[in-house]
Chains A and B, each alone.
Chain A
Amino acid sequence: MAAATTPETVELTGRDRAMLAGDCGEAAAVAMRILITMAGVYGAERLLDIEGAHIDGCLYHGDSGVDFAELLIAGGARVRVPTTLNVGGLDLLHPEEFAGTAERRAKALRLMECYEEMGCRTIWTCAPYQTTPRPAFGQQVAWAESNAIVFANSVLGARTHRYGDFIDICAAITGRAPAVGLHLEESRRGQVVFDLRSLPHALGSASWLLPAIGYLVGERCGNRVPVLLGLAAADEDGLKALGAAAASSGAVALFHAVGITPEAPTLEAALGGKDAEEWIEIGVSDLRAGLRSLSTVPAAPGPGAGRENGSPAARSRRRRRSASDAISIDVVALGSPHFSPREFAELLPLVERHPPSAGVEFVVCTNRLSLVHLEQSGGLERLRALGVRVVVDTCVVVAPILRTPAGGVLMTNSGKFAHYAPGNVGFDVVFGSLAECVRSAHRGRLWRDPELWP
């Protein structure tokens, strides 16, 4: 077998060597050892300076994560660059929301405290890019959390490779990251074009469909860099939904949307002046397939029911409506990635018109910044009075927050929730627009907007 890339092949600065030797404490030495191993894995020739980090390792997955954080704390770990924290395992502002065991709660809390002790900012959100400050165009950072990575790279034009738990804190402690992948200009050019130009305008500009578009882009492009051609103008909430879905179904860490994202003023620029490796036309039937993949309920009507250009529209609508009625909805979960103030502003009037029925658990996940905004505007009180739970610092697919026993049906407008809820919390899922989620919660049964479905 060919020789493994060894740490000796990675060029180190004097300061890197000093850290490796333990001159900056044992934690910095552990962090540098892991970084050098990973630089070898990635085939990096050197490390580069980073100016910020976002840490995913603060979420409790088991005792090993606590073991690692305690090892770093014992070695005197402190972050060297501004560092923010992703969601933790519980809502620190509303600890009563935690439905797990006391033991798990204590460990999730200890893990969160460890990362706070290392000097990280306790914003506890998977949408750090919707708080301030956020990375500038071209800035080198080390971010973990798949949806945050794809947003930082694609929408902000900051540069991070696709990091995960552990290497994120190693980068923050040392201020260094392997000079590889999406840190480097040459890896950022688009490779696969998804041509959306044949979609009817009404569909191409429907923001609720962005997760379905993202989901199918992720499924088809794997770990290559996709270029979306013909995407109608989307706001940051739309791009976050698209990116989160693409990073769930595929390993997408950067996408370009021609005319929208900063590295894609033109198709040529997005492709870095080269030819596309693959050109994929996306039509209405592909969109239907994307929507189908987002639901696990076998008889989920709408896209699953319509075979392709079948019966007359009115008949098909009637059929869809009766099929929807058969599906009862137990939970509506929103806010993956975390809900922004703008998303709350869209939700509030809908919930006021159609408050959730008593039998449906309605949860929205968000961060403290959005919560403060919501509280000041009076929205929090109104939502709570209508039976909506607002959870901060964490989220329902990573922590035991839901009170409804597993096995029911969860409805969401989030591609990421739709992807992870079945495996992580044991619910079947139905994907729909925000209005469909709200009205389904109101009826306790699936409601489809007959005008919406392609």
Chain B
Amino acid sequence: MSAGPAELSGRILVGGVGAGPVLRLEEPLSFWGGVDPATGRIIDRRHARCGESVAGRVLVMPYGRGSSSSSSVLLEGVRLGTAPAVVVLRELDGILALGAAVARELYEQSPPVVLLEAADWEALREGDEASVDVSGRLRIAG
């Protein structure tokens, strides 16, 4: 059950604004080969959440994995409107942050990418409504 609204503090890797329901991945996911940018669906058949969509979600995952082309897939997702609303990581992942940074340069929009301490990262549960505002605060709705 929900413990009420909460505000988490972390490090903003790439700033921006976004909100949506949490999609929580316990295992890392490579966007390249793992997400279809046309639909936002997870297509890595070895991934436990294969078939679900990252589009418009607050994507909570430990870190990215595998191919360095993942930044392209995230950027293409921003162009096509299938990117996550927010990316929340537990460990620093330059490859997704890069996709977001280039999206900001090229399309003047991108999902914020936030790095949380492990305990705070654990606090985000599947289906929670979460948001990041322009000052970089991450809120979980009660």
Contacts and interface: CB of A to CB of B under 8 A. Distances in A.
Interface in A37-96: 37-38, 41-43, 56-57, 59, 61-65, 67-68, 71
Contacts of B69: 56, 59, 61, 164-165
B138 interface: yes
Contacts of B72: 57, 59, 61-62, 64-65, 164-166
B67 interface: yes
A35 B10 CA distance: 22
Nearest to A67: B106
Nearest to A424: B33
Contacts of B34: 423
Contacts of A440: none
Interface residues of B, number: 52
Contacts of B13: 4, 41
Given A64-B75, A144-B68, A293 B11 contact: no
Given A34-B102, A71-B106, A165-B68, A423 B9 contact: no
Interface string B85-103: 0000001111101110111
A251 B70 contact: no
Interface string B35-52: 001000001111000000
A34 B71 CA distance: 13
Interface in B87-142: 91-95, 97-99, 101-103, 105-107, 135-138
A162 B94 contact: yes
Given A41-B101, A166-B98, A423-B33, A1 B68 contact: no
A428 to B, nearest CB: 9
A251 B63 contact: yes
Interface string A202-231: 000000000000000000001100000000
A422 B68 CA distance: 18
B71 A1 contact: no
A399 B96 CA distance: 22
Interface stretch (A98-106, A242-250, A262-270, A308-316): A242-250
A2 B10 contact: yes
Contacts of B64: 251
Contact of B45 (A163, A165, A422): A422
B84 interface: no
Contacts of B98: 34, 38, 41, 164-167
A382 interface: no
A149 interface: yes
A64 B68 contact: no
A146 B66 contact: yes
A164 B14 contact: no
A299 to B, nearest CB: 16
Interface string A279-298: 00000000000000100100
A1 B73 contact: no
- Choose among A41, A163, A223, A247 the residue with the greatest number of B CB atoms under 10 Å from its CB: A41
A152 to B, nearest CB: 12
Nearest to A40: B13
Contacts of B10: 1-2
Contact of A1 (B32, B65, B136): B136
Contacts of A30: 105
Contacts of A250: 65-66
B46 A2 contact: no
B78 interface: yes
Nearest to A422: B45
Contacts of A423: 33-34, 43-45
Contacts of B137: 1
Contacts of A145: 67-68
B96 to A, nearest CB: 9
Interface in A395-419: 397, 419
Q: Which 7 pairs from chain A and chain B are nearest by CB?
A: A164-B68, A62-B76, A4-B12, A61-B72, A164-B71, A420-B33, A64-B79
Interface of B: 8-15, 28, 32-34, 37, 43-46, 62-73, 75-76, 78-80, 91-95, 97-99, 101-103, 105-107, 135-138
Given A41-B13, A56-B68, 18 more contacts: A4-B136, A33-B105, A34-B101, A37-B14, A38-B94, A38-B97, A38-B101, A42-B92, A42-B94, A61-B72, A62-B76, A68-B102, A149-B68, A162-B95, A163-B94, A165-B72, A167-B98, A419-B46
16 contacts: A30-B105, A41-B92, A57-B72, A59-B69, A61-B32, A64-B75, A64-B106, A67-B106, A162-B94, A164-B69, A164-B71, A167-B98, A251-B64, A251-B65, A423-B33, A423-B45
